[in-house]
Amino acid sequence: MLQQTKSQALFEKAKTYFPGGVNSPVRAFKSVGGTPLFIERGDGAYLYDADGNRFIDFCNSWGPLILGHNNPHVRKAIIGAVEKGTSFGAPTALENELADLILSNHRYIEKIRFVSSGTEAAMSALRLARGVTGRSKIIKFDGCYHGHVDALLVQAGSGLATLGTSSSAGVPEAYARETIVLPLNDKDAIEAAVAKYKDEIACIAIEPIPANNGLLIQDIDFLRYLREVATREGIILLFDEVISGFRVGFEGAAGLYDIQPDVIAFGKIIGGGMPVGAYGASAEIMAHIAPEGNVYQAGTLSGNPVAMAAGAAQLRELLKPGFYSMMEEKTATLIHPIIAYAREKGYKFNIFSRGSIFWLAFSDQINIRKSNEIDPASMKYFTILHRALLERGIYLGPSGYEVGFVSAAHSDADIALAVSAFKEALDLAYNA
């Protein structure tokens, strides 16, 4: 049995301070049950909780830590920056440094604006799209997440190409009605929406590699089609690459598929574990942003020097030759033996992956491209698996809809340990 006495006491205390005991909902372990781990420290591939348990971590703070925990290059850069002060509210050379690293190695954007979270990046990118087009409606997809932006906390209405309804209390229906929610990977749904709301649509927002509700790999034809429709109709195509950016390659999904979006939103990896987001586009589109243009967007801590130093230190490592092929090899070493084992045992199970992102599907479908193709009942397997893995020193994010991440810090030995733990956990889940 996992010893969790200290985490349990901390969680009880936390519940007296924070709604649900947490500062972000999925951390609360609601969907898997049990007590969240209270983390004391992270080092490389490992997390250590308050009870002194060690876990091989495949959540990696939900994606930012592509180099693993407390990477020495990133730590050094942070300490170096902190020694000179933490915030100035005035420009620093560090902002130029991170921008130069990105813009000179990313062919799909010419200018960038730093913000402090992925939510802020998506929200600002939407405002930019509306400012550039002078239109107000947005297309988003069922199964994509773009942070807790009002206009994007919206679910599909009662039929195809109808306006959305809010998926959170506190989001005015008037905002939800500006958002059209469509199924992923469905060209006809786009055609119908575009025909109906022709000159009202400012933006098509998509995670080009949807990774917040399973890993819903899209047909490349569908993504190319979005580019065509957007160009034809004068709509801004927004790629939300908060997860995929710098993860599936330095140029993210835009580079992987070679599709030029109009605007890209970034977050997670870009800050090296510090709070950073960004959005980028052509110089022409970015000229609409204040103070150059009339789309207002600002931030007291935007371009924060400590965060910029962390981001630059991390991105520099990613630019080293062979980095991404090494990550893909590590991921293959983890998932292939687990998939083979499940097949051999006849378990209806698969692992989908792109780059070093992976997702456990409790299904024998070959493709899952839309959120309604995930059977909610299959999550009962995840609940058992998650617990069994925790008991064996493996940490996954506490929801079966969430993806996992391999980091550069995972050694062959860590991966071998994880593979054998997964096999045992699958046996438990499928024989329960």
Q: Rounded CA gap, 308 and 78, in Å?
A: 9
- 401 has catalytic annotation: no
List 265's β-bridge partners, or say none: 240, 279
Minimum CB distance to ligand PLP, residue 39 (Å):
18
Nearest residue to ligand PLP on Cβ basis: 118
Q: Rounded CA gap, 203 and 127, in Å?
A: 10
Q: 268, 279, 330, 395: which one is catalytic?
A: 268
- 257 has catalytic annotation: no
SS3 420: helix
Q: Which two tokens stand for residue 125?
A: 């990118």
Binding interface with ligand PLP (CB under 6 A): 117-119, 122, 145-147, 207, 212, 240, 242-243, 267, 277
Q: Rounded CA gap, 60 and 44, in Å?
A: 10
Minimum CB distance to ligand PLP, residue 88 (Å):
23
Residue with tokens 């992956």: 353
SS3 56: strand
Q: 46, 108, 145, 381: which one is catalytic?
A: 145
Residues 6+ apart with CB under 8 A from 284: none
- 48 has catalytic annotation: no
Q: Which two tokens stand for residue 277?
A: 């987001």
Minimum CB distance to ligand PLP, residue 424 (Å):
30
Instruction: Establish whether the linkage from the previous residue to 25 is cis, with ω within 30° of 0.
Output: no
Minimum CB distance to ligand PLP, residue 217 (Å):
15
State the CB neighbour count (10 A cutoff) for residue 34: 17
Q: Rounded CA gap, 176 and 158, in Å?
A: 13
Minimum CB distance to ligand PLP, residue 242 (Å):
3
Cβ pair 45, 406 in contact under 8 A:
no
Minimum CB distance to ligand PLP, residue 275 (Å):
7
CB-nearer residue toward ligand PLP: 242 or 409: 242
CB-nearer residue toward ligand PLP: 58 or 347: 58
CB-nearer residue toward ligand PLP: 212 or 218: 212
Q: 240, 324, 381, 395: which one is catalytic?
A: 240
Q: Which two tokens stand for residue 319?
A: 């630019």
Cβ pair 124, 296 in contact under 8 A:
no
Q: Which helix (H) or strand (E) holds 426?
A: helix 412-430
CB-nearer residue toward ligand PLP: 133 or 212: 212
Q: Which two tokens stand for residue 426?
A: 């699958």
CB-nearer residue toward ligand PLP: 307 or 338: 307
CB-nearer residue toward ligand PLP: 62 or 349: 62
Backbone phi, psi, residue 48, to 5°: -120, 125
Q: List, as own/partner pairs, every contact residues 192-200 make where C-beta atoms lie below 8 angstroms and the sequence separation is at least 24, other chains included.
A: 192/160, 192/161, 193/139, 193/160, 193/161, 194/229, 194/233, 194/235, 196/161, 197/137, 197/161, 198/233, 199/135, 199/234, 200/135, 200/136, 200/137
CB-nearer residue toward ligand PLP: 274 or 374: 274
- Pairing label, strands 54-57, 46-49: antiparallel
Minimum CB distance to ligand PLP, residue 322 (Å):
26
Q: Rounded CA gap, 17 and 158, in Å?
A: 39
Minimum CB distance to ligand PLP, residue 148 (Å):
7
CB-nearer residue toward ligand PLP: 99 or 122: 122
Q: Which residues are marked as active site? A: 145, 240, 268
